A and B are shown apart, each in its own frame.
Chain A
């Protein structure tokens, strides 16, 4: 591809909506047919009384049952494969905190397509074969390592598999090799900058850095801006998930106005996590993805549990691939109280602003006198007073700040340190004791 072209794959990137939809339907039909080679999907379709021929339009995708992480666990390790293992050349596995891990299999064609997708993302944000790309991401099972390695090589960039850690060596590489682009998790970028400061390296003068790809860790717009200012670069959000290969599923273009999901690779649906019905553009719902060109292990209507919304289906960059907002949290965590969607992370964010409070908190939802209420119990870090008035004032202050955030006034209860339940691994943050009205 000519360096001056803004697109690596113009034949796919600049398709009109109609052309994209046509391509998607063809690929969906082929994928569904191919899925009948998988014992799992064959049984699923039979249960649902569905035949591949029943998928006549894109809307017919809604006839297909959802696939969940639980399904991946239950078919661990190879129960979902749509090709014989003999044709598979790579396996990535992500460990689960509970139960079986999940496995994703790849044929050579899958790996090629994955590399193509990442190359497309990097080209979109300005990388060319002259660039030096340092991949400061974990390798091994973590898909951000090999994924970006093959993708950057596919683009033709000089690719440095620096892996994560050893900041001094990373900085030496950046200087010696003339690194122009880095892929890393945002917290590691911040760390690199700190080490640069400690060692007297000015990223603007002493390095050739211009582009960062950041992902795999939730981060706010403020954090992105901070990173851009620190290093004097442009930082682009990368979205991926191990179930969908890894990175390369979606990436921001130079407009930085949301993540373009590659619709020649995936069908994107946003559904209400409760009713599983589609939500209108602009409304937050759960991201559901269907792979369109995977061979070894296609996934149909995979519930990602990530919450986001459609920002637009056109873009000044000339790509009509749907733009989604950065992920808002996990649908498993969402609470609906008096019609308002609330995430524990919103509450946590406020609580963490009070230095008087410890890290442990518990949200309980109850029905009192036919009203749904929320009680937030939070542990006190230090008893900073023995004056009740000051404890009550603190409670009131927490309540007020929470109301500003979630638009409802919860009960706030301070509790002594060590009294809230601590569970193994992931902490239990929400208990729902509400009455369910039939």
Chain B
């Protein structure tokens, strides 16, 4: 149920993002969605792409601090209140969310989140018959 996301440790400096994006585009890797979270000094750049395993190797070999993290991507109808409802179901089940972001993809909403309680999250998703995406969906 989880999919692989690239997490990249970056400096808060111009140019560092370009370097990562350059490496990926040269390898023909398509970015589906990306988001940056940062503090004063550094940030973590999170990327969903069509080939995370290959992207990981490319970045790693270029000496970049990168990790493959397991996240869950839920597909929801692009309508008001749907995202809020999904998040409520998950948090009501007692699953704590480390971070969350969303984007539009093929006219559906995608809600991506990371939790340390993935078993519990999976149960909740199955019980509530929520739609989740797999890596296949992004290829």
Contact = CB atoms under 8 A, between A and B. Distances in A.
Interface of A: 380, 382-388, 391-392, 413-419
Interface residues of B, number: 21
Chain B interface main SS type: strand
B100 to A, nearest CB: 13
A430 to B, nearest CB: 20
B65 A386 contact: no
A253 B130 CA distance: 79
A388 B41 CA distance: 12
Interface string B31-43: 0000001010110
Contacts of B8: 383
Contacts of B65: 380, 382-383, 416-417
B39 A388 contact: yes
A383 B64 CA distance: 9
A418 B5 CA distance: 22
Given A386-B69, A417-B65, 18 more contacts: A383-B8, A383-B9, A383-B65, A384-B67, A386-B5, A386-B46, A386-B67, A387-B98, A387-B114, A413-B42, A414-B42, A415-B42, A416-B9, A416-B11, A416-B16, A416-B64, A417-B64, A419-B11
A416 B37 contact: no
Interface string B45-89: 010000000000000000111110100000000000000000000
Given A383-B66, A384-B67, A413 B41 contact: yes
A418 B64 CA distance: 8
A385 B67 contact: yes
Contacts of B42: 391, 413-416
Interface string B12-39: 0000100000000000000000000101
A304 B65 CA distance: 41
B44 interface: yes
Nearest to B44: A386
Ordered nearest first, which 4 A-B pairs have the shortest CB separation? A386-B7, A383-B67, A383-B65, A418-B63
